[in-house]
């Protein structure tokens, strides 16, 4: 085991607790990589608690180094970047101590994996002649911002507008600087190719997986609860929930007055009350077990209108056996069959009718419950998703060793 190659994983956040899209993908990618390499993590933390908290001894990381980056420094970085062409998304995470730690650790690492484009800048300072350099982009962030700018107004829209061009240039340059890049969806890959990515053959699509042990198949619907899973400090989730509460849920309540819309995920205490002003809306906040919080739910919804990549919430609904209703935007990146594995509906009235139909017909719900679970079992195991990445790394290592 000691002769495993050393792999340096660079991240802008501590992957624990393993909740939220970025942390979830980061952790499971690291877990897959650890099956073949010794994974050393160097990451940023924006609180002293994240720097000092005890981490699980789960065998994923051979070493972890956390660098404190105070939020005031991040905001100052962003303010300075307004006068440059650097994306704020990148400037926010700039840190000299972080760069020094990464460069030092890179000296003993054969493989460098940079998680998200925001950490890619430091890798340009590492001599890569005898190293394999991978950029795990997850999403094309410029695509996410481009879509968000069409719905937002005011200051947020200005920031999105400001960032789109910067990120497009930066993402294309980053792809060229690495041996390979990884995206979660073919939609993102096509988007970047259309922008002018000169090396599409260097871009892998590795979709998200789902931990079937943490999300066991246990469908016991109460006939009234609609579930939404997602961190409520993330713009696409906030937009989706507000849209659902204002445009879809009232139509459902006309047909099923006892219907409940349960929101599960991280949320600021001050924001809980505003959602619960609406009759029938429940907010759990952060929970120890999402599967426990989902008990009794009859249908899972993903009414997202902006964003990019693959929606983890959909995979989690399907793993739990929840019949799933999503928008076209939420469906992106999935190979599931509409009307068989899940339902894809954009019109608010049609979405409400579909949800009511599921809630009123247990036989229909049961059929789609099993179909959804079968789909994720077959298509979304984490090991299978990242297998092409491991094969590429091994191939590049062989070339380096030969030369």
Task: Note the pLDDT tens digit of each residue in 346-395.
Answer: 999 999 999 999 999 988 899 899 999 999 999 998 988 999 999 999 99
Give the confidence band of 151 by pLDDT, cuts at 50, 70, 90: low
Q: What percent of the chain has pLDDT over 70?
A: 96
User: What's the pLDDT score for residue 153?
Assistant: 56
Quick check: 357 and 364 in contact, CB under 8 A? yes
Over the stretch 8-41, which tens digit does the pLDDT of each residue have?
999 999 998 887 678 888 999 999 999 999 999 9
Q: Which residue has the tokens 């979709």?
A: 207
User: How many residues would you count in the chain?
Assistant: 403
Dihedral of CA atoms 99, 101, 103, 105 in degrees, nearest 10, equals -150
3-state SS string over 70-82?
A: CHHHHHHHHHHHC
Higher pLDDT: 27 or 232? It is 27
From CA 263, how far away is CA 270, in angstroms rounded? 15
Rounded to whole angstroms, how far apart are CA atoms 44 and 64?
Answer: 11
Give the whole-angstrom CA distance, residue 99 versus residue 244: 42
Q: Enumerate residues 6+ apart whose C-beta is below 8 A from 156.
A: 148, 235
Q: Model confidence over 203-226: pLDDT tens digits?
A: 989 988 888 888 889 899 998 999
pLDDT band at 403 (very low <50, low <70, confident <90, very high): very low
3-state secondary structure 274-294: HHHCCCCEEEEECCCCHHHHC
Helix axes 362-379, 312-320, angle to 10 degrees: 120
Orientation angle between helical segments 382-402 and 21-33, nearest 10 degrees: 50
Asked if 358 contacts 364 with a C-beta cutoff of 8 angstroms, the reply is yes
Domain limits, the chain: 6-209+381-402, 225-379
What's CA 364's distance to the chain center, in Å? 30
The pLDDT assigned to 392 comes to 92
- The reply to whether 6-209+381-402 and 225-379 are identical in fold is yes
Write out pLDDT tens, residues 318-352. 999 999 999 998 898 888 899 989 999 999 999 99
DSSP structure string for 201-215 = GGEEE------TTTS
pLDDT(150) > 80: no
Helix (H) or strand (E) segment spanning residue 31: helix 21-33
Show Cβ contacts of residue 181 under 8 Å, excluding neighbours closer than 6 positions.
Answer: 134, 135, 136, 137, 174, 175, 202, 203, 204
Interval 146-163 mean pLDDT:
73
Q: Which CATH number fits domain 225-379: 3.30.70.1380, 3.30.70.20, 1.20.1090.10, 3.40.50.2000?
A: 3.40.50.2000
Architecture of domain 6-209+381-402: 3-Layer(aba) Sandwich (3.40)
132, containing H or E segment: strand 132-138
Band (pLDDT 50/70/90 cuts) for residue 154 is low
């Amino acid at each position: 085991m000691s002769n495993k190659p050393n792999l340096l994983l660079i991240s802008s956040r501590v992957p624990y607790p393993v909740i939220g899209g970025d942390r979830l993908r980061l952790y499971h990618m690291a877990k897959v990589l650890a099956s073949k390499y010794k994974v050393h993590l160097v990451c940023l933390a924006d609180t002293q608690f994240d720097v000092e908290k005890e981490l699980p001894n789960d065998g994923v990381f051979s070493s972890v180094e956390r660098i404190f980056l105070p939020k005031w420094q991040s905001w100052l970085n962003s303010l300075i970047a307004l006068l440059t062409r650097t994306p704020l998304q990148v400037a926010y995470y700039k840190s000299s101590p972080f760069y020094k730690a990464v460069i030092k650790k890179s000296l003993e690492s054969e493989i460098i994996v940079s998680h998200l484009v925001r950490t890619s800048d430091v890798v340009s300072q590492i001599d890569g002649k005898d190293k394999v350099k991978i950029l795990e982009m997850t999403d094309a962030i410029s695509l996410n911002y481009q879509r968000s700018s069409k719905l937002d107004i005011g200051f947020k829209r200005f920031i999105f507008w400001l960032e789109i061009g910067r990120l497009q240039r930066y993402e294309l340059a980053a792809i060229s600087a690495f041996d390979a890049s990884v995206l979660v969806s073919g939609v993102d890959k096509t988007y970047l190719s259309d922008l002018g990515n000169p090396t599409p053959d260097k871009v892998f699509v590795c979709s998200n997986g789902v931990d079937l042990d943490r999300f066991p198949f246990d469908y016991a619907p109460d006939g009234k609860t609609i579930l939404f899973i997602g961190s409520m400090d993330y713009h696409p989730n906030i937009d989706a929930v507000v849209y659902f509460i204002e445009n879809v849920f009232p139509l459902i309540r006309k047909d099923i007055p006892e219907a409940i819309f349960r929101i599960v995920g991280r949320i600021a205490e001050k924001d809980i009350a505003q959602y619960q002003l609406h009759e029938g809306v429940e907010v759990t906040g952060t929970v120890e077990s999402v599967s426990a919080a989902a008990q009794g739910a009859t249908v899972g919804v993903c009414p997202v209108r902006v964003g990019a990549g693959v929606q983890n919430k959909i995979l989690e609904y399907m793993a739990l056996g929840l019949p799933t209703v999503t928008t076209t935007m939420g469906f992106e990146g999935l190979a599931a069959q509409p009307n068989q594995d899940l339902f894809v509906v954009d019109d608010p009235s049609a979405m409400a009718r579909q949800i009511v139909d599921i809630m009123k017909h247990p036989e229909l719900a049961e059929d789609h419950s099993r179909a959804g679970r079968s789909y994720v079992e077959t298509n979304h195991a984490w090991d299978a998703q990242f297998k092409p990445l491991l094969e590429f790394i091994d191939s590049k290592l062989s070339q380096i060793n030969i030369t």
